[in-house]
Amino acid sequence: MKVLVVGGGGREHAVVWKLAQSERVSRMWCAPGNAGIAGEKLASNGSSVECVPIGAKDLADMLAFAKAEKPDLTVVVPDDPLALGMVDLFEENGLPAWGPNQRAARFEASKVFSQEFMERHGIPTARSGMFSDAAEAKAFARSLQGRCAVKADGLALGKGVLLTENIADAEVAIDEIMTEKAFGDAGAEIVIQELLSGMEVSLHALVDGRTGCLFPTSQDHKRALDGDAGLNTGGMGTYSPAPFLSDDELETVGRQVLDPWLKGCEEEGIDFKGILYPGVMLTADGPKVLEFNARFGDPETQVYLPRLENDLLELLLASREGRLGEVTMRWKPEVAVCVVMASGGYPQSYEKGKEIDGIAEADALPDTKVFHAGTKFSDGRVVTNGGRVLGVTAWRGDLASARDAAYAAVAKIRFEGAHVRSDIAAKGLG
Ligand code: AMP
Ligand code: GLY
C-alpha cells in the first residue's frame, strides 16, 4: 500500500517509523516531514520515506498532491488539519483517509462543545461553566473562590489554559483571554473549570465509531522546568506505563470515560474514527476528564509506539473500516521513557539552525530511538528547526533502567543551547 502521513513533528516521526515496519507498506510520503523522517526506510523493500514540502494545514496543495499520487491511505495526525476537515475533504474526493472528520474533531477544537458533551452524557469531569460574557464568567470564578482553570474555547496550540488560585488572578485571566484576546479568537467563549488536584495521566483509545481500544497509561511533563516549574510547553517528556493505575483500575477508568463517550457519540450521530486522547486527573473523588484531544499525543506517541506489537497500518485500517471489534492490541511489557531535547528559550523565543551532533551514536544504542521533532537538513547537516527538537526514547524492563537509558542516549547528543528536563519519570519512581 502507498501511505501519505500528514505532519512533521516528533509524534509524526514515531508514526512513520512504526508504519515503515509494516510489510504491507510499499511507498510512503510524509508532508512536510523532517530530517529524521527523511532517514526512515521501509521494511518491505528498503525504499526511503519521501518528505514532501507541503504544510500540514495546506489543504488545497495536500489534496492536489494526493490526487496525483493516489495514496491508498492518508494518515492525518495533527489537530489543525483535522479541525480544518482534511479527512472529510479527502474522503469526498475518493481518497481514503484516517483520522476524525471535522465534526468529530470538535472534541479537541472546541472546549465548550467537549464540556457540554461530557455533562450531557455523564462523563466524570470538573465542575464547570461556559461563558461568552466576562462579567458572568467572573461571578462564576468568584463562586469557586478563584480556584479555576480558565480555558479559551478554540485551538490555541496546546496553550489557551490559565490556572488561578485566587479571585484577583482569575479575573485577570478572564480579561486576558476574553477582552485582550491573548489567544486570539479562540477566547471569544471560555470554559471555567474548578481547579482540581491529583496525579495527571494521559489516556489514548483507538476508536472506529463504535468500539474503543484503550492503550496503556502514560504521563507527560508539560512544564518547561524541573519540578513542574516554568511555563506550559507541548510536552517535555513522557513514560509508559505510568504506575498510578493497575491494569484493572485503568480498565475501570477507561470504561467510566469511554463507554458513556461512545454511547454519546452514537446518540448524537458523531462518527469518530481516530484516537481519542482524554487528559485525566486522578482526584480523591475519582478520575475526572480535564479535556479531550482528538489525535495522538506528542510526546506520548514516542513512548506508545515503541511498545506496540501490532502492525500499526492494520490498526489504522481497522479503525477507519469499523473493524476494531476483531482486533486485540498487544503491548510489550517493557517500560518506555522519552526525554525531549528543546531549543534554549522554548516555549518562548529561541534560535534555530544550530548544528546537532551525536544522533547516530545515540540511535545505535540498543532499544533506543531518537525521534526528530524540529529538525531539518542544511548543507547536508541536521540542524535545529523548532522548539522541541528531538524526543529520545529508550525501553527497558523497568522504569529506572529505561529512564537511565534515555538519559544516557541524550548525553551523546549535542547542540548549542539544548534544554532538557532532568526529572522525566521521577514521579513514577516515587
Ligand atoms: P488542557 O489543555 O485542558 O489539558 O489544560 C492544560 C493543562 O492545564 C493540563 O494538562 C493540566 O495540567 C492543567 N489543567 C487543566 N484543567 C485543569 C483543572 N480543571 N484543574 C487543574 N489543572 C488543570
Ligand atoms: N502531550 C500533550 C499533547 O499532545 O497535547
Counting ligand 1 atoms within 8 A of each CB, the residue from 112, 145, 163, 295 with the most, and so the one to mutate, is: 163
Sign of the CA dihedral running 377, 382, 383, 387? positive
Please give the distance, rounded to the nearest whole angstrom, from the Cα atom of residue 382 to the centre of ligand 1. Answer: 35
Distance CA 304, CA 310 (A): 12
Average pLDDT over residues 162-187: 90
In ligand 2, the atom with minimum distance to the C-alpha of 293 is: 5
Which range is least confidently modeled, 63-77, 150-164, 291-305, 314-328? 150-164
The CA-CA-CA angle for residues 331, 40, 386, to 5°, reads 95
Which position has the higher pLDDT, 196 or 254? Answer: 196
Distance CA 199, CA 206 (A): 23
Q: What are phi and psi of 139, to 5 degrees?
A: -65, -40
Q: What is the pLDDT of residues 57-103, one digit of tens each?
A: 999 999 999 999 999 999 999 999 999 999 999 999 999 999 999 99
pLDDT score of 159: 64
Q: What are phi and psi of 105, to 5 degrees?
A: -70, -10
Which range is least confidently modeled, 127-131, 150-154, 214-218? 150-154
Counting ligand 2 atoms within 8 A of each CB, the residue from 159, 238, 298 with the most, and so the one to mutate, is: 298
Whether ligand 2 lies within 6 angstroms of the CB of 79 is answered as: no
In ligand 1, the atom with minimum distance to the C-alpha of 193 is: 19
Which range is least confidently modeled, 187-191, 279-283, 394-398? 187-191
Q: What is the pLDDT of residues 202-237, one digit of tens each?
A: 999 999 999 999 999 999 999 999 999 998 899 999
Distance CA 53, CA 371 (A): 19
Confidence of residue 187 (pLDDT cuts 50, 70, 90): confident
* Closest CA relative to residue 78, chosen from 44, 55, 96, 112: 55
pLDDT score of 158: 53
Q: Is the pLDDT of residue 18 over 60?
A: yes
Confidence of residue 362 (pLDDT cuts 50, 70, 90): very high
- Asked whether 417 and 354 are in contact (CB, 8 A), the reply is yes
Please give the distance, rounded to the nearest whole angstrom, from the Cα atom of residue 235 to the centre of ligand 2. Answer: 6
Confidence of residue 348 (pLDDT cuts 50, 70, 90): very high
Task: Considering every ligand atom shown, identify the ligand nearest to the alpha carbon of residue 288 and give its number.
Answer: 1
pLDDT score of 12: 98
